[in-house]
Structure 1
Amino acid sequence: MLRIGLADDHPVIMDALESAFVEAGGFSVVFKARTGAQLIEALRAQPCDAVVTDYSMAQGMSGGDGLALIAQLLRQFPTVRVIVFTMLANPALCEQLAALGVHGIVSKSDDRAEVLAAMRALSAGGEPPILSPGVRASIGARRSRAPQPLSQRETDVVRLFAQGHSLDEIATSLNRAKTTVATHQQNAMQKLGLTSNAELVRYAYELGIA
């Protein structure tokens, strides 16, 4: 019986995952957490074999969540297999998670059965990270586009924009014309393959730029 811990700030998602594991058989859900802090506390109190965790949950631990949380999990609990189950499909983020050493990444846009598939693949000795179809497609699309890195000025504009500053305010802060700032923003979005301001803000927070 594989002992599983679940972490997500949406109880409905955790309940659905728990039902999937129970119905599949061979798994036992030993705890459910809603914040990064609760997850760390639960792991210290309740040993388990694997964790399925969201990437971005409500704040609840020193330093926040996201990459900091995943890095802490891998560092403090090296025997626990970590599968990240996330709605964030940014390919750069997926590559960073893989570089950290997570054992699997599953997109919430995929069927929840993909979480079970990833867990079974790991149990069978599959080489991590196990990637769900949605994650593989996202990374593949990024590599096929051969994206260019952002310039320092583009990074500055993205950071300030994600922090809630208007283009006029950014122009003043950087001592640049508003049209120049707008061009930097558009160039950054084109390089990153993003199509909306919301995606740009989310990208900035995913990678810790904001």
Structure 2
Amino acid sequence: MHGKTRIVLADDHPIVTVGMKHILSQFPDYEIVAEARSSDELIDHIIKLRPHVVITDYNMPGPTRYGDGAKLIGYIRNNYPEVRLLVLTMISSPLIASSLYRLGVVGVLLKSDNLVGLGASIASILRGGASAAKLRPRAGTIEGVDEKVSQLTGKEMEILRYLFSGMSVSEIAAHLKRSVTTVSAHKMAAMRKLGAENDHELIMFCVHHGLFTS
């Protein structure tokens, strides 16, 4: 890659982007061209600035056109495949990491990790080096559950995450500006794919497999 690596940061917590900017400023080959506080802002920056790399939070809740989590990552990969995506998250679940790699991200970084190594990790990942491989969940450890989770669409994963946080179907519908019928359909599809017969089993699946826990 010639010239500076153009990076867009996205996180709804300003303290996180301030920390990342400080760390990345020590690398002269990196240029922070924009910061986003929502997925809408992130997509606008990608369209206007065409960055080489996006470092984005996994969870950026709020009513947006593009959602967050797997839905947002899938949208970026489908529409801007040239952008290298690194995801920051508080969720240490290997199932989430596995689903993100399947979507095409090049790295998953835990916010609980030492972010001093962030710059070096980015450089290594862009070169296709060892750091990217270290972040991947080990193969052969979670195939059965992982296969079920891999069937979920970005929207189903989003609905499931809101349900896990304690929101009702009607609250999710209002939050996302969707009909209760639509949200219920996504929930039922997720239940079918995960083998859950009721809401309790659906939530317990998430609990037992650490799907949305840090």
TM-score (norm. length: structure 2): 0.65
Aligned partner of 1:47 in structure 2 is: 50
> How far apart are the structure 1 equivalents of 2:7 and 2:199?
47
- In 1, the alpha carbon distance for the partners of 2:6 and 2:55 equals 11
Match of 2:141?
Answer: 143
Cα displacement string for residues 95-120 of structure 1 (whole angstroms, at most 9, x for unaligned residues): 11000111111111111134323211
Aligned residue pairs: how many?
Answer: 171
Q: CA deviation at 1:122?
A: 2.7
The match for 2:205 among 188, 201, 205 is 188
Cα distance change of structure 1 residues 57 and 191 upon mapping to structure 2, 3 Å threshold: closer
**In the alignment, which of 64, 72, 75 is matched to residue 75 of structure 2?**
72
- What is the distance in 1 between the residues matched to 2:92 and 2:106? 17
In structure 2, what is the Cα distance between the partners aligned to 1:124 and 1:29? 19
Offset at 1:48? 1.4
Residue type matched to 2:121 in 1?
A
- Amino acid aligned to 1:143: T
Cα distance in 1 for residues equivalent to 2:13 and 2:89:
12
Aligned-residue RMSD, C-alpha: 3.6
Q: Are positions 1:95 and 2:90 aligned together?
A: no
Q: For residues 176-195 of structure 1, what are the alpha-carbon distances to aligned partners after superposition, in whole Å with 9 as ceiling and x for unaligned?
A: xxxx9899479736752x4x
Moved over 6 A (4+): 158-161, 180-183
Residues 63-103 of structure 1: CA deviation (Å, up to 9, x unaligned)? 52111110111122111111011111111111110001111
Q: Which residue number corresponds to residue 19 of structure 1?
A: 22
Instruction: For 1:47, give the aligned amino acid.
Output: R
What is the TM-score when the length of structure 1 is the normalising length? 0.66
Q: Is the 8 A contact 2:6 2:30 kept in 1?
A: yes
Q: Which stretches in structure 2 are left out of the alignment for 5+ residues?
A: 150-160, 169-196
Q: Which of 32, 37, 42 is the equivalent residue of 1:34?
A: 37
Question: Is the 2:23–2:118 Cα contact (8 Å) retained in structure 1?
Answer: no
Per the alignment, residue 87 of structure 2 pairs with: 84
Q: Displacement of 1:130 after TM fit? A: 1.5
| Corresponding residue SS for 1:23 | coil
The structure that has the greater radius of gyration is: 1
Bigger RCO of structures 1 and 2 (CA < 8 A, at least 6 apart): 2
Superposed, which structure 2 residues align to 1:103-118 within 5 Å? Answer: 103-118=106-121
SS in 1 for 2:15: helix
2:132 matched residue in structure 1 = 130
State which drifts further: 182-191 or 61-70: 182-191
The one-letter code matched in structure 1 to 2:132 is: I
- Determine if contact 1:121/1:130 at 8 Å carries over to the other structure: yes
Q: Residue type matched to 1:67 in 2?
A: A
Identity of aligned residues (%): 27
C-alpha deviation, 1:123, in angstroms: 3.1
